[in-house]
Structure 1
Amino acid sequence: MKSNTSWSCSCFILKQCLLSVLVLTETVVAINLPPNLTIPALIAFGDSIVDTGNNNNIKSIAKCNFQPYGINFQGGIPTGRFCDGRVPTDLIAEEFGIKSLVPAYLDPSLKPEDLLTGVSFASGGSGYDPLTPKLVAVISLEEQLKYFEEYIEKVKNIVGDERKDFILANSLFLLVAGSNDIANTYYVLRARPQYDVDSYTTLMANSTTDIVNKLYGYGVRRIAVFGAPPLGCLPSQRTLAGGLLRECAENYNEAAKLFNSKISKKLDLLHKTLPGIKPVYTNVYDPLLDIIQNPAKYGFGVSNKGCCGTGLIEVGPLCNKITASVCPDLSSRVFWDSYHPTEKTYKVVVSLLISKLVNKFV
């Protein structure tokens, strides 16, 4: 699978670029890392939570490279991030002192030196169920891994085998998926009628394990696997399944918790059976649910609808500058559109998770 990115760069210029990258990595640090912890890069796989623009370059309806997306991004530019600003990929990389923006692997302006500090392979609309990405024509996790193989070869050609192996073994890898499987494929579209919730979440959990095993085979050791959020409390799911009062759809939440318990156990088992691996289950369910249920505690005012349009259903192509206005009180909103949190919310969640991630990878 080939990208259309140009890789022409003279040896002299490339060395200067690499030097700049190393200096930046050493100086931009947001948290105090233990002296024995080195994180050279952040690399992400998954769905829209960590997609930084890959869907811009494919034929799919799952896009957001138009206004008002990116309204709080640098210069108000819609980059393909499903947010008003930055997403967890960027925020976590910044917290680890790597860089403040993680580019999409398919970004045509991607430079060779960008690879050394990390990229995102994620695709908004993707999921663990192989059917999920097909429903909206996005990049499956299997295809993301194919791109990753291409990435490994490029890194090897830039810095050699030894440094390539170091980057793979010491970088932080994010695996963030599952929301589209449960909310869209299973509940809204009912595209898997042969499964009950228990068997479907098992399918998802088994897929998670397969991906972690494959990453381990590539030489990856530090993997943060995000659990599913409280899906029933997302504004769109309240609208679709929360009744007239738009309460949280508890069946969605129960499915998310069931999936989370299964991957947590599977990651514990992998930690015991794969030498050197550090797979970390990352609980986003509880902190996000607390923000939704107690918004004032975190400086928010509205948690049951998004800022784009009515906030009840608009997401992706429905959230556009022609048909959907932006709320006047964005800073008080937990959600940007009907499915995705605001950058402010992401910052709160990341601040609650980051120290736990650091402690797990020492």
Structure 2
Amino acid sequence: MMSTTSSLLFLIIFIVHNLLLKQSYAQKNNTISAVFVFGDSTVDTGNNNYIPTISRGNFPPYGRDFPNHEATGRFSNGRLVPDFVAEFVGVKKNLPPYLDPSLTIEDLMTGVNFASAGAGFDPLTSQLGMALTQSQQLDLFKEYKAKLEVAIGKERTDDLVRRAGYLVSSGTNDFTFNYNGPIPTRRKAYPTISEYEQFQWQLIEQFLQDLMDEGAKKIGVVGLPPIGCLPAIITTNSKTPISNRECIASLNTLSRNVNQMLENNLKGIQRPGTKLVYADIYTPIIDMVEQKTKYGFEESHRGCCGTGLIEADFGCNPKTPLCDDVTKYVFWDGFHPSEKGYRIIFNSLKSLILENLA
């Protein structure tokens, strides 16, 4: 009798144990495996440190509020949206740049960043900014996959890539430094802004198609910020006195038009089994600018670094004066939000991440 009871108890324990194992595996298999990022300086966590370019943020005061006050190459006083995303989905605290030679296989397996400051969807933009083009960033992703296949095998690599979350954030430089910049190459080829917008969409579509061909299933595509509210853009485009700074309405209209096109067109290239979603950063940024006191800000038209009117990259350096309290500033320099600003942008995207990428 004792033997029969013991056998039955063992059988029950065995069945329950296997059910729990299957449940645990299913939960693990449905969670996000890694985070991968492509784009420009708003999401570059340090790749430009390793390429020949002047667009770098790997010196003080950049990184002033990053752990150990380290200037990692992030264009802010601290962490960026990709870092918050990686932490939020539970893969790692901060997302490293792929070109960092010290990365281990374990680092690679939970995601890396391929973005490059100065980049745009338009390859000419990246050339002007001495940055990695979107095509070159994708080539690095292919190289990444090959490395991982050698280390953990093709089957595990394919599974990791399939379950990963992807963030693509680019395009601002195409309009600020390229089409509306001092070199009129693109304006000659595309006389109207709508023509250039269509050209840019063709480049975006091709990049996303290529990324999906590489196995990406969960992709968030970030829209443009209110370009007309970036401090340096206000400075270079405003006809009003410095004491009366306002966003450039026409450039904000441009951002909204491009974002609407992007949101509409993404639906048309959706593939079965793939989540391709538009991520709105225009709304949280314009809200911070127009309702700064709601977030505890005091300054929304200047950056913290230097005069706050135009400085970025090498213009924000160890000899540049800083504001007394960066948490009172929406922007860190003339183009990039402060860490607090990036945190607020990330918070606005949480529900999108939970529903589509995590």
Normalising by the residue count of structure 1, what TM-score does the alignment of the two structures yield?
0.87
Give, in whole Å, the separation in 1 of the partners of 2:107 and 2:347.
Answer: 25
Give, in whole Å, the separation in 1 of the partners of 2:96 and 2:28.
Answer: 27
Give identity over the alignment, percent: 40
Deviation readout 1:87-135 (Å, 9 max, x if unpaired): 1110111111111111101112111211100000000000011110100
- Which residue number corresponds to residue 130 of structure 2? 137
- For the pair 1:168 / 2:161, whether they are aligned, the reply is yes
- Which residue number corresponds to residue 139 of structure 2? 146
Task: Provide the secondary structure at the position in 2 that maps to 1:123.
Answer: coil
- Which residue number corresponds to residue 41 of structure 2? 48
- Which residue number corresponds to residue 7 of structure 1? none
Q: Quick one: structure 1 residues 35 and 118, their matched pair in 2 at CA, closer, same or farther if it must change by over 3 Å?
A: closer
Q: CA deviation at 1:247?
A: 1.7
Match for 2:317: what amino acid? N
- Which residue number corresponds to residue 10 of structure 1? none
Give, in whole Å, the separation in 2 of the partners of 1:185 and 1:250.
Answer: 19
Q: Which runs of 5+ in 1 are unaligned?
A: 1-25, 27-33
User: Bigger CA drift: 64-73 or 183-192?
Assistant: 183-192
Q: CA deviation at 1:361?
A: 3.9
- For the pair 1:290 / 2:287, whether they are aligned, the reply is yes
- For the pair 1:348 / 2:344, whether they are aligned, the reply is yes
Match for 1:193: what amino acid? R
- Which residue number corresponds to residue 4 of structure 1? none
Give, in whole Å, the separation in 2 of the partners of 1:240 and 1:149.
Answer: 39
Number of residue equivalences: 327
Give, in whole Å, the separation in 1 of the partners of 2:210 and 2:72.
Answer: 30
User: Superposed, which structure 2 residues align to 1:8-23 within 5 Å?
Assistant: none
Match for 2:77: what amino acid? D
Deviation readout 1:258-299 (Å, 9 max, x if unpaired): 21111111211112xx22111010011111111111011112
User: Bigger CA drift: 339-348 or 105-114?
Assistant: 105-114
Task: Provide the secondary structure at the position in 2 that maps to 1:193.
Answer: helix
Give, in whole Å, the separation in 1 of the partners of 2:284 and 2:104.
Answer: 36
- Which residue number corresponds to residue 317 of structure 2? 320
Q: 1:193 aligns with which of 187, 190, 193?
A: 187
Contact 2:218 2:356 in 1 (8 A): no
Q: Choose 1 or 2 for highest CA Rg.
A: 2
Task: Provide the secondary structure at the position in 1 that maps to 2:269.
Answer: helix
Q: CA deviation at 1:250?
A: 1.8
Q: CA deviation at 1:35?
A: 8.5
Give, in whole Å, the separation in 2 of the partners of 1:118 and 1:294.
Answer: 35
Deviation readout 1:28-77 (Å, 9 max, x if unpaired): xxxxxx98841110000010111010000111111111110000011111
Q: Which runs of 5+ in 2 are unaligned?
A: 1-23
User: Superposed, which structure 2 residues align to 1:1-362 within 5 Å?
Assistant: 37-189=30-182, 190-194=184-188, 195=190, 196-244=192-240, 245-271=244-270, 274-322=271-319, 324-361=320-357
Q: CA deviation at 1:357?
A: 2.0
Normalising by the residue count of structure 2, what TM-score does the alignment of the two structures yield?
0.88
Q: Over aligned residues, Cα RMSD in angstroms?
A: 1.5
Give, in whole Å, the separation in 2 of the partners of 1:285 and 1:361.
Answer: 20
Match for 1:104: what amino acid? P
Runs (4+) of structure 1 moved beyond 2 Å? Answer: 34-37, 188-191
Match for 1:360: what amino acid? N
Please state which structure has a larger fraction of its residues in helix: 2
Give, in whole Å, the separation in 1 of the partners of 2:249 and 2:96.
Answer: 36
Contact 1:306 1:337 in 2 (8 A): yes
